[in-house]
Structure 1
Amino acid sequence: MRGAIVALLMFMWMPFVIFKPFIGVLLWDWISHMNPHKQTFGFAMFFPFLDFVAALTIGGLLISKDKKSLPAHPIVAIILMYFLWVTFTTIVGFEPGYSSEKYIYVLKVLLFAFVAIMVMQSPNRLRAFVFVMAGSLAYIGIKGGLFTVMTGGGGRVQGAGGMMEDNNQLAMGMAMLLPLAMYFVQHPPLKVLKWPFVGATFCVLLSIVGTQSRGGFVALAAVMGMILLKSKHKFKMIALIIPLIAGGLYFMPDSWKERMQSTENATEDSSFRGRVVMWRFSSNVADDHPIEGGGFNVFYIRRAQELYMPPGEIARAPHSAYFEVLAEHGYTGLLLYLSMLLTGWYAGGSAAKKFRKHEETKWIGDLCGAIQLGLVGYAVGGLTVNIATFDLFYHYLAVIVMCSNVGNEILKRQTFKLSDDGKTVVAAGPKKWSPPKPTSHAAREKANPI
């Protein structure tokens, strides 16, 4: 029954996609982040809905008369540079055929980001895109949070499929979602939804804890620390956070506490030692191939393992986004990857500061601030989880570009004045052109000849 419902929803909207590409972007958004078909049974579970939606959306974009150009934004430029570089490293890598599967995945992720930037260029479309993305991820977070409560923290919240395949990746996704969930508490689509969004945010928080991911716990701590640092109500936040932490520690079982405390003895942990081995492997590959690296999935290529794996060790996942990029794309790729992350961070902060000044664009400024905090969770989580190709990171970058486009268009159409408090800038209405008034009699005659 679930498969039939999901298939009906997909096929019902597909005919409209060719005429309204933004509907296709929203469907693409939903499928990418929630993977609804993966939670069904039968033919729907394996049917390539995403490929059909993507093809129809691109076809509709080609025949549409709407504006289709990518904006001149630093984020767009650095993503394009990174994509061109990974294309090169795939071609010259150890085994291009073996690397092609991951390359195609990255191609689809970046294609969606670019199509979304081109299509979602209005306030309502931006709101819809972010709401669908947050709602799709919140569905997973609410399920995980309720599961954590029902099992008393004893059961582990596992991966949800797609980009969040295992519990570590799920924890990263939820840590990135948390600031966005708090944004919707601040800016709910309807006022009656504020308290349900508060409950959903709390479930997202519990789902991170329920994954029992040590990397997720560190990412959560980083995000909460940045939220506290940027908050104007620090004492209120501390007064709220301390009881939550104390209650959570009391509530969670001993097995969870022991796993979290194992971070203190990381050097004695076999999992940590395995990660260090893979980080050494990445360094060895980069030392021999500093420019181009070994190409996608070099960790699983037998020839690379024989050359660069420390003797007697078993190959596994890299467990670090930074060492993942280093081994696959060399020091050049790592530099571009870090530049992409820092550009997103800086652009998000700059846009937040710019748009929060104006009443008409304050919601955009707060959205950029939430996305920037989400990037903190990604950057910290990437230290111990291989999430270099994580969909949500590139889609967050796309949202910052969308916010800049929409915010700048709103500001162009408005003239502003200071509010009564002398601090907030409010819209005074659309700009109207009027000819300058001549000041002298001669000038007036010249301007209005008989």
Structure 2
Amino acid sequence: MRQTPVVEARESVVMRGAIVALLLFMWMPIVIFKPFIGILLWDWISHMNPHKQTYGFAMFFPFLDFVAALTIGGLLISKDKKSLPAHPIVAIILIYFIWVTFTTIVGFEPGYSFEKYTYVFKVLLFAFVAMMVMQSPNRLRAFVFVMAASLAYIGVKGGLFTILTGGSGRVQGAGGMMDDNNQLAMAMAMLLPLSMYFVQHPPLKILKWPFAGATFAIMLSIVGTQSRGGFVALAAVMGMLLLQSKHKFKLIAVLVPLVIGGLYFMPDSWKNRMQSTENATEDSSFRGRVVMWRFSSNVADDNPIEGGGYNVFYVRRAQELYMPPGEIPRAPHSAYFEVLAEHGYTGLLLYLSMLLTGWYAGGSAAKKFRKHEETKWIGDLCAAIQLGLVGYAVGGLTVNIATFDLFYHYLAVIVMCSNVGDEILARQTFRVADDGKKIIAAGPKKWSPHGSGSKAARQKTSPT
């Protein structure tokens, strides 16, 4: 007897869960001996949430916690270098984490704060462990590729859904950090420059055109979320890309037809939602955001140093004290007001410092490494990450993404790029020719994840 389509679909999803579980369990024993494999698994689970797209036990099994524990255990017994790179981004993240730990302890209701604090702890733990482990060119490439491919999978699905529904269906959240359509749009806006990077530097030549197609699908998925904040973030990324590009006219020639075609393709419901930004003061959604921004300011004005702690927006006592009369509490809908209410003006200053440090470090590294042929790919990667941070900064104006995984992971990638790029340049040895003028490259040293080599090797290859 033939099964119904519903039963067949359910069995298919159950089978998918079994396959995902098998893949993860198969790699777990290796993680103890190869911590970088654990980082890549951690990377995949964090950004794609493959188990959440299944049914049955796999959907709820804490794969990420198991992988994290095994990775850290493997790192402890490994002989690899275990210190964090000396970088301003590392310092500012550590200071910020210390501060949010303090605000969690002294907040209005530590019980309300603890769940979000635990989430942030896990996000930063992954960033720090990744910085410690992924300190070679191949590991850096693998880390970024897994991140991009995991998110691109979601972007391609969203783009295809937008095409199939003619833009009338809304692309919803994918779980994890992309819990709703607004957060998914932010992730895709941040991913877009990275996808373009892989068109320029594909791991394999055969992947160049698939990434080009994925880039187009990612843009469609942002539009398909019907997120006004996502649309603004997309515009900011594309505008900054246009300003930085050396081929402005070519880029305009490609973008203008896409924009015109996209506007013609999208239904009236989408156009009306985007045009509602012109009448923001009459929009109930926008008005609700302004109410929560006022709530955040009221909390910070009374608690300027420490704020109210994580999730202060849902603490009844805080609502009674600081919510404008007659208004309904909701999410803050702004990363900046989110931090302001939860961690005070001190926390907001540290958060902005972290964002600006990442943006400046990414730009500086891009400029530095693009000068050398050996590290040009790292310079281009840093430029893509910096552009992604622009999307994050603009999107954060209207979406509460202060604890967004991808932001902190992008900061980690900048640190990895700086560390690996400096190591590659340090491997280049030079000597002065007999005429005292011409400098001749003596060739690169063998790569070592522990540094530039032994003392004897450094003395042997030192400039003459």
Q: Does TM-score exceed 0.5, indicating one fold?
A: yes
Instruction: Pick from 124, 130, 141 the counterpart of residue 138 of structure 2.
Output: 124
Q: Given residue 185 of structure 1, which amino acid in structure 2 is its aligned partner?
A: V
Q: Which string of whole-angstrom CA distances, capped at 9 and with x for unpartnered residues, describes residues 364-404 of structure 1?
A: 00000000000000000000000000000000000000000
2:347 maps to 333
Residue 48 of structure 1 pairs with residue 51 of structure 2: no
SS in 2 for 1:276: helix
**Cα pair 1:358 1:427 within 8 Å, conserved:** no
Partner Cα distance (1:158, 1:427) in 2 = 54
TM-superposed deviation, 1:434: 6.8
Q: Given residue 279 of structure 2, which amino acid in structure 1 is its aligned partner?
A: N
Mapping of residues 114-263 of structure 1, within 5 Å: 114-263=128-277
Instruction: Pick from 414, 422, 434 the counterpart of residue 400 of structure 1.
Output: 414
Q: Given residue 275 of structure 2, which amino acid in structure 1 is its aligned partner?
A: Q
Residue 385 of structure 1 pairs with residue 427 of structure 2: no
Residue 296 of structure 1 pairs with residue 310 of structure 2: yes
CA separation of 1:230 and 1:97: change in aligned 2, threshold 3 A: same
Q: Which string of whole-angstrom CA distances, capped at 9 and with x for unpartnered residues, describes residues 286-330 of structure 1?
A: 000000000000000000000000000000000000000000000
SS in 1 for 2:135: coil
TM-score by length of 2: 0.91
Q: Given residue 365 of structure 2, which amino acid in structure 1 is its aligned partner?
A: A
1:422 maps to none
Q: Which string of whole-angstrom CA distances, capped at 9 and with x for unpartnered residues, describes residues 341-374 of structure 1?
A: 0000000000000000000000000000000000
**Cα pair 2:429 2:463 within 8 Å, conserved:** no
2:436 maps to none
**Cα pair 1:176 1:373 within 8 Å, conserved:** yes
1:447 maps to none
Residue 39 of structure 1 pairs with residue 53 of structure 2: yes
Partner Cα distance (1:59, 1:433) in 2 = 36
TM-superposed deviation, 1:98: 1.2
**Cα pair 1:359 1:427 within 8 Å, conserved:** no
Q: Given residue 318 of structure 1, which amino acid in structure 2 is its aligned partner?
A: P
**Cα pair 2:429 2:461 within 8 Å, conserved:** no
Q: Which string of whole-angstrom CA distances, capped at 9 and with x for unpartnered residues, describes residues 146-187 of structure 1?
A: 000001111000000000000000000000000000000000
* Structure 1, gaps ≥5 residues long: 418-424, 437-450
Mapping of residues 94-109 of structure 1, within 5 Å: 94-109=108-123
Partner Cα distance (1:359, 1:344) in 2 = 24
Partner Cα distance (2:71, 2:359) in 1 = 29
2:294 maps to 280
Residue 319 of structure 1 pairs with residue 333 of structure 2: yes
**Cα pair 1:371 1:396 within 8 Å, conserved:** yes
Q: Given residue 358 of structure 2, which amino acid in structure 1 is its aligned partner?
A: G
Partner Cα distance (1:205, 1:29) in 2 = 23
2:10 maps to none
Provide the aligned C-alpha RMSD in A.
1.4
TM-superposed deviation, 1:435: 7.9
Q: Given residue 136 of structure 1, which amino acid in structure 2 is its aligned partner?
A: S
**Cα pair 1:223 1:373 within 8 Å, conserved:** yes
1:439 maps to none
SS in 2 for 1:340: helix
- How many residue pairs were aligned? 429
Q: Which string of whole-angstrom CA distances, capped at 9 and with x for unpartnered residues, describes residues 35-85 of structure 1?
A: 000000000000000000000000001110100000110000000000000
CA separation of 1:56 and 1:67: change in aligned 2, threshold 3 A: same
TM-superposed deviation, 1:13: 0.1
SS in 2 for 1:429: strand
**Cα pair 2:299 2:307 within 8 Å, conserved:** yes
1:355 maps to 369
Residue 67 of structure 1 pairs with residue 81 of structure 2: yes
TM-superposed deviation, 1:433: 3.7
**Cα pair 1:228 1:234 within 8 Å, conserved:** yes
Instruction: Pick from 14, 19, 22 the counterpart of residue 8 of structure 1.
Output: 22
Q: Percent identity?
A: 90
**Cα pair 1:345 1:372 within 8 Å, conserved:** yes
**Cα pair 1:359 1:426 within 8 Å, conserved:** no
**Cα pair 1:96 1:295 within 8 Å, conserved:** yes
Partner Cα distance (2:340, 2:158) in 1 = 33
* Structure 2, gaps ≥5 residues long: 1-14, 432-438, 446-459
CA separation of 1:299 and 1:434: change in aligned 2, threshold 3 A: closer
Q: Given residue 367 of structure 2, which amino acid in structure 1 is its aligned partner?
A: K
CA separation of 1:435 and 1:363: change in aligned 2, threshold 3 A: closer
